[in-house]
Chain A
Amino acid sequence: MAKYLLLKHYRGAPASVNDVPMDQWTPEEISAHVQYMNDFAARLEKTGEFVDSQALAPEGTWVRYDGEGRPPVTDGPFAETKDLIAGWMVIDVDSYERAIELAGELSAEPGAGGKPIHEWLEVRPFLTASPTITE
């Protein structure tokens, strides 16, 4: 088994095929979208492949250490940040191929007009613990 992160972006991913902002959909299309996402997660729980799913607020803050005895420096949010993560799903699957297959299904989530969004998702393998047997 190997864990993969399916990463959704607010910004930074290539434009999807059905690229219409959500507030321009109909309320029914939004419901169908949410339902698809919930069903997808529920199905992966049943197959024993679901690990975690989280969504993030769009606005964050940059922080860094500023030396002994000083409060951390904060900055941002930066409107020009190219890459903005919206949320993720973590899956634990048998193969890379399975991770790609599932990401493809998730990307078919319905959007405007009830048609698949074809959203670009980023699939990132987790670095694993080192195996016991190496030779």
Chain B
Amino acid sequence: MDGALLRSLTPSVLTVLVRRGADFAAAEDAVQDALVEAVRVWPADQPRDPKGWLVTVAWRRFLDATRADTARRRREDLVDEEPAPGPAPAVDDTLQLYFLCAHPSLTPASAVALTLRAVGGLTTRQIARAYLVPEATMAQRISRAKRTVSGVRFDRPGDVATVLRVLYLVFNEGYSGDVDLAAEAIRLTRQLAARVDHPEAAGLLALMLLHHARRAARTAPDGSLVPLAEQDRRRWDTRLIAEGVAILQAALARDRLGEYQAQAAIAALHADAPTAGETDWVQIVEWYDELARLTGSPVVRLNRAVAVGEADGPRAGLAALAALDTSLPRHTAVAAYLHERDGDLATAARLYAEAARKAPNLAERDHLTRQAARLNTRRLH
């Protein structure tokens, strides 16, 4: 039983039903039913044409559901219109599905959930577990999302940027559960990048691959965070890095720079350094300048201050930091780091402890507390 195959067929099966005239919400429910049925039946009896099988079962489920309520007339119309049985059309409407699920009328949380279910083929339970909410809550979120997009025309091109934003969110919120959301985000972005001619889709895919390559090195066996400079670079996945760099280079060659390509370029420069000490910080600062120009984001300027601290020394980093709002997330942690590099261990220890109190998650809090403890221990002994 190939779960990945099953899930990869989800979007095209769904679009077949929609093309045949089923409304999106009902079609999506029917496809979920068909997936559940496939999980039950396929292990014993895998069909020769898996997609055709799913289309047939989903269509039947859709008709059953429609028959069950007051929409009898509509169902009869549809039966009249039903195409002759045969292989499912090979036309690929997956892209339209991405646009629909990331429609600007949806909130980010809804777009994420709908994308994972309708494009990714995950069950509501899997999505709920991944985002640590009750299944009933996630079911409501998805059905509200489907109602929100129910009037959206399926044949209009959408905005790739909104789709990329949704996929970025899926990748970046690495929660728990039995589904690897980072890997799922990569699969969906890969599928998207193969379908659109858009350097930023390639840029996002490269960015994900380059960060995913570091995953094994990012946490210690006890679960604590390992900062980039201290990671064992032999544990980075060189295959993913090579693929990410190749995709990025092809995207950059097209000279349509965007924020994901710029972020990926920074990740590629880190990947390129055999040791932390050999990092090309001057080039990284230049990429942060590009990124700040593209996004205007204060968070980018904060990261840039770290890079300036490495390229031109901690005093220069602190000067860059002084221009930024102190209420920015992680501002205190960056200040602590730069003061430590500058040799002011007492200030650094105090700021690390303060940053720990403001940390947005447990892993960071523990990490920052350890940094404070490390400096305090060293000062006392």
A contact residues vs B (CB 8 Å cutoff): 21-27, 29-31, 34-35, 38, 55, 57-59
Interchain CB contact under 8 A, B366 and A23: no
Residues of A within 8 A of B353 (CB): 21, 23
B349 contacts partner chain A, Cβ-Cβ < 8 Å: yes
Interface residues on B, range: 20 to 34
Pairs of residues from A and B, 7 with the lowest C-beta to C-beta distance, nearest first: A23-B372, A23-B353, A27-B370, A26-B377, A27-B374, A27-B373, A30-B370
Complex Cα distance, B377 from A4, in Å, reads: 37
B372 — nearest CB in chain A belongs to which residue? Answer: A23
Residues of B within 8 A of A29 (CB): 373
Interchain CB contact under 8 A, B373 and A22: yes
Interchain CB contact under 8 A, A34 and B356: no
If A30-B366, A30-B369, A30-B373 are given as contacts, then 15 extra A-B residue pairs at C-beta distance below 8 Å, sorted by A number, are A21-B353, A22-B369, A22-B373, A23-B352, A23-B356, A23-B372, A25-B373, A26-B374, A26-B377, A31-B222, A34-B223, A34-B224, A35-B222, A55-B362, A57-B359
Number of A-B residue pairs, CB cutoff 8 Å, is 43
B366 to chain A, nearest CB (A): 6
Residues of B within 8 A of A23 (CB): 349, 352-353, 356, 369, 372-373, 376
Q: A23-B372, A25-B373, A27-B373 are in contact. Are A38 and B356 (CB under 8 A)?
A: no
What would be 6 A-B contacts, judged by CB atoms less than 8 Å apart? A23-B352, A23-B373, A23-B376, A25-B373, A26-B377, A29-B373
B contact residues vs A (CB 8 Å cutoff): 222-224, 349, 352-353, 356-360, 362, 365-366, 369-370, 372-374, 376-377
Interchain CB contact under 8 A, A58 and B373: no
Complex Cα distance, B374 from A24, in Å, reads: 9
A54 to chain B, nearest CB (A): 10
Interchain CB contact under 8 A, A38 and B362: no
Interchain CB contact under 8 A, A24 and B366: no
Complex Cα distance, B353 from A23, in Å, reads: 6
Complex Cα distance, B365 from A55, in Å, reads: 11
Complex Cα distance, B360 from A23, in Å, reads: 18
A10 — nearest CB in chain B belongs to which residue? Answer: B357
B117 to chain A, nearest CB (A): 25
Complex Cα distance, B363 from A38, in Å, reads: 12
Residues of A within 8 A of B372 (CB): 23
A126 to chain B, nearest CB (A): 17
Contact of B376 among A24, A34, A57, A59 (CB under 8 A): A24
B360 — nearest CB in chain A belongs to which residue? Answer: A57
Residues of B within 8 A of A30 (CB): 366, 369-370, 373
Contact of A34 among B352, B359, B366 (CB under 8 A): B366
Interchain CB contact under 8 A, B362 and A27: no
Contact of B224 among A25, A31, A59 (CB under 8 A): A31
Residues of A within 8 A of B365 (CB): 55
Q: Which one of A27, A31, A38 has the highest number of Cβ atoms from chain B below 10 Å of its Cβ?
A: A27
Interchain CB contact under 8 A, B366 and A26: no
Interchain CB contact under 8 A, A58 and B357: yes
Residues of B within 8 A of A21 (CB): 353
A31 — nearest CB in chain B belongs to which residue? Answer: B222
Interchain CB contact under 8 A, A27 and B377: yes
Residues of B within 8 A of A38 (CB): 223
